[in-house]
Chain A
Amino acid sequence: MSYFGLLKENLKEHKDNYVQVLRLSIADLKKTYHGAALGWFWAIVKPVVSIFVYWFAIEIGLRKGGDVEGVPFVLWLIAGMVPWFYMNELIVGGTECIRKYSYLVTKMKYPVMTIPTHTNISKFLVNAILVAVVIVIFWICGYPPTIYLLQLPIYMLMMFLFFNAWGLFAGMISAIGKDFSNLVKSFVTAVFWLSGVLWDVDKLVETNLFFKIFFMINPVTYFSYGFRNCFVYHKWFFEEPEKLCCFLGLYVVLAFLSLWAYKKLRKEIPDVL
């Protein structure tokens, strides 16, 4: 089947099964927080603790930080970290999604292309709540919502689509060999520290061309700074056309790879899982 046909099949599977996909997302959500006495509370506690720790280490421990664009460092950190929580979940969770839902592959006839989507939706909903919390925090600290917040849904949608393609690609490959998911897991921390979620890449970008390109094609940097554009820098997403084009190019490549992986491995994974 051609790649165009595969893309059409992908969209059709989602259209025909959207009810099941939504239900499985809710089920996935319930399962994540179910069985713990405080349940939903943990969805907030985990990010709060990590932000506190990083803020403490950088601002208090290393005595770095300081205001960015007139906004306190801790708020700047929060704006860039919130999308990272989602990306972190999806980089690892996307890789594991088909293994985790192997019973949908090996025990019944189920549209495999929609498995990454329901994992993705459940994480996305949690992140949407976090984003709302961040807006409130900024407000309380004296930074009421601006018109630039209107582009948040656009960034979130791009993030959703990007990591959906990643989930299909990585999920398929790691269903064949567990090594791939170990590889991803060991690199996820590296990605975090190298992508400027914690420190300002702008100063580094000015120094040499290699860094400029590296951060330009890094989707994690793109989203982390995209969120900061909304909250801190007050820039529109189309004001940085090179970054946008780099990201879109990368997305096309990843989407292509995910279809390639699907085409190649769809018939093989039920025999392997």
Chain B
Amino acid sequence: MKDEVVISFDKVSKVYKLYSSNKARLLGIFIKKVPYKKKKAVNDVSFSIKRGESVALFGKNGAGKSTILKMITGVTFPTSGDIKVEGRVSALLELTSGFDQEFSGRENIYLKGHILGLKDSEIKALESTIIEFSELEDYIDQPVRTYSSGMKSRLGFAINVNIKPEILIVDEALSVGDAAFKNKCKEKVNEIIKNDNVTLLFVTHQTAVAEEFCKRGIVMKDGKLVFDGEVADASKKYDELYKKKKK
């Protein structure tokens, strides 16, 4: 059970097609000749992650981290290569989005739960925990469009960590809210990985925070995987790369 591979990437590449305009993109559906630039966001990446592992993903902006995360969540598709993911993925990507603006916070909890395939009774059982965790109190029955961005991300975080994920993806989401809430989030993430045998994928620029949570680290550069190993070595490698770029 412990050695079961939950995420595996096999020679995965992702190419984005960049058209000069939206018009060109629309024409591109019908006419193959319309020119576009190719941008390789992820280039021949292979790795595998076992159940219960916690892995940090380092890389500068544009190194391909977000694309990898999106491919794990099943939102985008690789141009070539194979991806296997097993278990319910809960992604803390862009917490403020993914809500229905017209619905209240409470209705959004149900909507998210339904989309993820939870039953009414299951959501009902989690509802009070989520509301309590998000600290929204009376605002929970107001439409989400009236929320501040901090409130939205708190609600997003609360929903995602409480729906019993099997794979948890955290994309710098721990920079949510004030110091007290940040600590609460950290504790919650720690609790989840310790108790429930959840696989954690943590994306960050701050190596110190990553070392708190993770044992393994992966460093990305320009779409390529340049290092995969102990988190301490990975953060050293990341710092080196970053310093070199500075000169």
| Residues in chain A within 8 A of chain B (CB atoms) | 19-20, 23-24, 27, 31, 34-35, 103-110, 173, 176-180, 264-268, 270-272
Closest 7 CB pairs of A and B: A177-B26, A109-B74, A107-B98, A267-B77, A270-B76, A23-B114, A103-B98
**B residues within 8 Å of A by Cβ?**
16-17, 22-23, 25-26, 29, 70, 73-77, 89, 91, 93-94, 97-100, 102-103, 107, 111, 114-117, 143
Q: Which A residues are CB-close (under 8 A) to B76?
A: 267, 270-271
CA distance A107 to B73 in the complex (A): 9
Q: How far is the CA of A108 from the CA of B116 in the complex (A)?
A: 9
> Contact: A20 with B75, CB < 8 Å?
no
Contacts of A108 in B (CB 8 A): 73, 75, 91, 98, 115-116
Q: Are A179 and B22 in contact (CB under 8 A)?
A: yes
CB-based contact B103/A31 at 8 Å: yes
Q: Is the CB of B16 within 8 A of A271?
A: yes
Report which residue of B23, B25, B74, B75 has the largest number of chain A beta carbons within 10 angstroms of its beta carbon: B75
Residues of chain B within 8 A of A104, CB atoms compared: 115
- B97 contacts across to A, CB distance below 8 A: 103, 107
- Distance in angstroms from A44 CB to nearest chain B CB is 21
A selection of 20 A-B contacts at a CB cut-off of 8 Å is: A23-B111, A24-B111, A24-B114, A27-B107, A31-B102, A35-B102, A103-B97, A103-B99, A106-B75, A107-B94, A107-B97, A108-B91, A109-B74, A109-B89, A176-B26, A177-B25, A180-B26, A266-B77, A270-B70, A271-B16
Known contacts A20-B117, A104-B115, A179-B23; decide if A27 and B17 are in contact (CB<8 Å).
no
Q: Specify the main secondary structure of chain A where it touches its partner.
A: helix
- Inter-chain contacts of A268 with B (CB < 8 A): 17
Q: How far does the Cβ of B198 sit from chain A's closest Cβ, in whole Å?
A: 18
- A108 to B90 Cα, complex, angstroms: 9
A107-B114 in contact (CB<8A): no
Q: Which residues does chain A contribute within 8 Å of B77, judged by CB atoms?
A: 266-267, 270
How far, in whole Å, are A54 and B143 apart by their CA atoms in the complex?
A: 38
Least CB distance from B77 to A in Å reads 4
How distant is the Cα of A112 from the Cα of B76 in the complex, in angstroms? 12
Nearest Cβ on chain B to A137's Cβ, whole angstroms: 32
Beta-carbon nearest neighbor of A183 in chain B: B26
Residues of A within 8 A of B26 (CB): 173, 176-177, 179-180
Specify which chain B residues have a CB less than 8 angstroms from the CB of A270 in the assembled complex: 70, 75-77
CB distance from A12 to the nearest CB of B (A): 15
Would B111 and A27 count as touching, CB distance under 8 A? yes
Point out the residue from B25, B93, B100, B115 that lies within 8 Å of A31, measured CB to CB: B100
Closest A residue to B119 by CB, please name it: A19
Partner of A27 from the list B98, B103, B116 (CB cut-off 8 Å) is B103
A272 to B25, Cβ gap below 8 A? yes
Partner of A19, one of B23, B74, B75, B114: B114
Contacts of A265 in B (CB 8 A): 29
Given contacts A103-B97, A177-B29, 7 further A-B contacts (CB under 8 A): A20-B117, A27-B111, A31-B102, A108-B91, A108-B98, A173-B26, A270-B70
Known contacts A20-B114, A106-B75, A109-B73: A176-B98 contact under CB 8 Å? no
Which residues on the B side are within 8 Å of A110 (C-beta)?
115
Q: How far is B102's CA from A205's CA once the two chains are assembled, in angstroms?
A: 47
- The closest CB in chain B to the CB of A103 belongs to B98
CA distance A264 to B17 in the complex (A): 14
A270→B93 CA distance, assembly (Å):
15
Look across to chain A and name the residue whose beta carbon is closest to the beta carbon of B112.
Answer: A108
Q: Which residues of A contact B91 (CB under 8 A)?
A: 108
- Cα distance, A108 to B103, chains bound together (Å): 18
Name the distance in Å between B110's Cβ and chain A's nearest Cβ.
Answer: 8
Contact across chains for A20 and B25 when beta carbons are under 8 A apart: no
**A264 neighbours in B (Cβ, 8 Å):** 29
Q: Compute how far the CA of A267 lies from the CA of B78 in the bound complex, rounded to whole angstroms.
A: 8
Which residue of A23, A24, A34, A272 is within 8 Å of B102 (Cβ)?
A34
A109 engages B103 (CB within 8 Å) = no
